[in-house]
Amino acid sequence: MSVALDLLSIVAVVAGAFFFLAGTVGLLRFPDTFTRLHALTKADNLGLGLVVLGLLPHVGSALAGLKLIVIWLLVLLSGAVASQLIARATRQRDPDA
């Protein structure tokens, strides 16, 4: 049982790390602000989400697991709002970017 959980953790964390890699590469290589924003959200949603999923079997109590999920939801929320605001601000500055 615990071997299966360990395996799940490893797979999830590796997948999460891959999405962080994808997000970072996207941030560096995409040609303009809006496409880079798109890359950023991959790291937020899937990167952190998979890492949290991988760490859930290892928490000491239900409260710690709840905190992990709340962290992920908070990052999702703030990432979504920040992306909207950044996109709007960039549109206003540079209408043809």
Q: Which residues of this protein are in contact with other proteins, per CB under 8 A?
A: 6, 9-10, 13-14, 16-17, 20-21, 23-24, 27-28, 33, 36-37, 40, 43-44, 47-48, 51-52, 55, 58-60, 64, 67-68, 70-71, 74-75, 77-79, 81-82, 84-86, 88-90, 92-94
Structure tokens at 64: 């710690």
Helix axes 33-42, 62-93, angle to 10 degrees: 170
Least distance (Å) from other proteins to the CB of residue 4?
A: 13
Of 40, 17, 44, the residue nearest 87 (C-alpha): 40
Least distance (Å) from other proteins to the CB of residue 1?
A: 15
Considering beta carbons, is residue 1 or 84 the nearer one to other proteins? 84
Question: What is the b/e burial string over 29-63, where b = at least 16 CB atoms within 10 angstroms of the residue's CB?
Answer: eeeebeebbebbbbbbbbbbbbbbbbbbeeeeeee
Least distance (Å) from other proteins to the CB of residue 37?
A: 6
